[in-house]
Amino acid sequence: GPGGQATIPFKGSACGLMTVLGPDAPVVRMRVDGGPFFERQLLDHWCYYWRDAVVLLCEGLTDATHTLYLEVVEESPDRRILKRAPTSPFWVDHLEQAQCANRP
């Protein structure tokens, strides 16, 4: 969830993540080997339903051991990019819980 973070050591020239994407997909902020931070929005046009996805987090690195630091950004992405509004009862429950917790 928002504020969550992880440090991921990996060997190779790229790092990806197997995850589930849906209407609550966040923006993640990352850095590799202590370099500059960059952000990646995980929400895409098809996130009006939940699905398994492989997300490429970084690539083009030297084939060596690296450390990826990742954190979930607090702000919600702009859901207007969705091809249609989410209609799942799980999404309705999520919105109600977020409103109770004063989150977008």
pLDDT surpasses 80 at 102:
no
How high is the pLDDT of residue 23? 85
Length of the chain as a residue count:
104
Contact 45, 81 (CB under 8 A): yes
Q: What is the pLDDT of residues 75-97, one digit of tens each?
A: 877 777 787 777 767 766 766 77
The residue-averaged pLDDT of 9-28 equals 93
Residue 22 CB partners (closer than 8 Å, separation 6+): 47, 49, 50, 51, 86, 91
Q: What is the pTM of this model?
A: 0.75
Residues 6+ apart with CB under 8 A from 97: none
Cα–Cα distance for residue pair 8/66, rounded to 1 Å: 8
